[in-house]
Structure 1
Amino acid sequence: MDEADFLSRIALELDAELTMSSTAELIAEYARLTTAADECGILFSQPANTWSTPAATSPRVTELHQLQISLDEGPCLDAIRKQSTYICDDTRNDDRWPTWGPAAAELGISSTLSIRLESKNRNLGALNLYAEPVGAFGTQDVAIASNFARHASIALSTAFTEQGMALAIDARTFIGQAQGILMGRYGISAEQAFEYLRRRSQQEHIKLTDIAHEVIEDQSSKSTGEEPELP
């Protein structure tokens, strides 16, 4: 099977995954298998300058990511923030990351390859490959990993969208259930029930879905509650 066929097969398998987490895990494992990497992981960029590692082929990968986050230095962060690809042949002696590099070397990692994961509208994070030998990654590894990252970016972007849609559907379902309970309990309209939920959310600084959950739980425990103030 040539590289194009193999990547197509991987793309089909990624498309079949149902969750963002399982998609990320499959990406990390395939990237490790198709290159000279000993380890692989994904670092996600999240709002408010926060980060997460949804997939790692070993605990060492998570530690390498956490070191970059705490030091605010490393190839994964640079692939997200600056140019799209970073390759390092000797972590102990690479002056681009004077603190993280030696720390990575102490963990047994000498070579790294980080490639940005991005969609048309979003910078998703970075695919990060790690190897124990010095100079482990060659031009073929970079080419394979870059092609793979493009397929992975599409799969992750789709998973993010589908997960967001699922969460939105769940939220609407809970809010609708809470509206129905309030309408039946107090003889108010759907608009008045929603206004009550919205007002409580603002006044108590609690998410609208959490207020809806509370109403549903109160109903389940047969609590009568207090009659809401109508708008």
Structure 2
Amino acid sequence: MDWRGFAQQMASMARDLLAEQTLDATLGQITSSAVELVDGCDASGILVLRRGRVSSVAPTEQLVTDSDRLQESLREGPCFDAARPEISERVFRIPDFTEDPERWTSFVPRCRELGVGSMMGFLLYTREEELGALNMYSRKPGAFTEDSETAGWLLASHAAVAFSSALSDSQLQEALATRHTIGEAMGILMGRHHITEDQAFEILRTQSQRTNTKLREVARRVCETGAVDQ
């Protein structure tokens, strides 16, 4: 492993991640960097576990999505475990899918049928958050070495910081957009019905509760139609 060259590539990746403008672009940069920088990696993706449900984020190939779905249906697998906060391990590796597995005995033979030869899973984390797992796949058995695992862990550690930062920015942008939409809807209701700001907000809130619809969606409909749906 050319660690000097790897360090230079990691520095370049870090600059690229900082330059990304959206959460999707950041996550796509993370998974494409895994394929580019980690020896043996043919495909990569991020598995996010929320409330027991799995989402495949920024997969570089369909193979990644198929593996994530398989892990969810079986409730086992290295990346599934890496994303669970109650599991103490943070790095998982299945060196050879052609060998009889000692762990994940249901997942390994099924994943082998997808064409996977070896894989690794890394927890994506910052000091305060556990966000999910970075998956790396190879079609060749035994493709991932100790150096590959070290490189993957270093990449995942850097990626988690960028992931957390991009997620915070995305949430802030969404919050600002929601605030703007609600404010615009309140202005429409105030002008049409000659009511106060508090009364306009109460109309939106009541409609949201009555229809079990998010407040932002109720506001968006008011902005589009000029009235609250009946």
For the residue of structure 1 that corresponds to 2:24, the secondary structure is: helix
Instruction: Select which of 129, 146, 155 maps to 1:122.
Output: 129
The residue number in structure 2 matching 1:10 is: 13
* Cα pair distance change 1:40/1:225, threshold 3 Å: closer
Instruction: Select which of 134, 143, 151 maps to 1:144.
Output: 151
CA-CA distance at 1:2 after TM superposition: 2.9
Q: When the two structures are superposed, what TM-score results if normalisation uses the length of structure 1?
A: 0.90
1:171 aligned onto 2:178: yes
1:44 aligned onto 2:51: no
* Cα pair distance change 1:74/1:224, threshold 3 Å: closer
1:217 aligned onto 2:221: no
1:77 aligned onto 2:84: no
1:133 aligned onto 2:140: yes
1:193 aligned onto 2:200: yes
Name the aligned partner's letter for residue 76 of structure 1: C
CA contact 1:174–1:212 (8 Å) conserved in 2: yes
Instruction: Select which of 90, 96, 104 maps to 1:90.
Output: 96
For the residue of structure 2 that corresponds to 1:192, the secondary structure is: helix
CA contact 1:43–1:54 (8 Å) conserved in 2: yes
User: In the aligned structure 2, how far is the partner of 1:91 from the partner of 1:224?
Assistant: 57
For the residue of structure 1 that corresponds to 2:83, the secondary structure is: helix
For the residue of structure 2 that corresponds to 1:53, the secondary structure is: strand
Runs (5+) with no aligned partner, structure 2: none
* Cα pair distance change 1:27/1:172, threshold 3 Å: same
After the TM superposition, which of the residue ranges 179-188 and 200-209 deviates more from structure 2? 200-209
Instruction: Kindly report structure 1 stretches of 4+ aligned residues shifted beyond 6 Å.
Output: 223-226
Deviation by residue 1:116-167 (Cα, 9 ceiling, x = unmatched): 0012332111111111222211111111111111111011111111111111
User: In the aligned structure 2, how far is the partner of 1:65 from the partner of 1:224?
Assistant: 41
CA contact 2:218–2:228 (8 Å) conserved in 1: no
1:105 aligned onto 2:108: no
Aligned residues: 222
User: In the aligned structure 1, how far is the partner of 2:205 from the partner of 2:122?
Assistant: 43
Runs (5+) with no aligned partner, structure 1: 227-231
* Cα pair distance change 1:104/1:224, threshold 3 Å: closer
Name the aligned partner's letter for residue 204 of structure 2: L
Q: CA RMSD in A?
A: 1.7
Greater radius of gyration (CA) = 1
Deviation by residue 1:37-65 (Cα, 9 ceiling, x = unmatched): 1111111122x222211111111111111
For the residue of structure 1 that corresponds to 2:58, the secondary structure is: strand
CA-CA distance at 1:214 after TM superposition: 1.9
Q: When the two structures are superposed, what TM-score results if normalisation uses the length of structure 2?
A: 0.91
Instruction: Select which of 63, 66, 72 maps to 1:63.
Output: 66
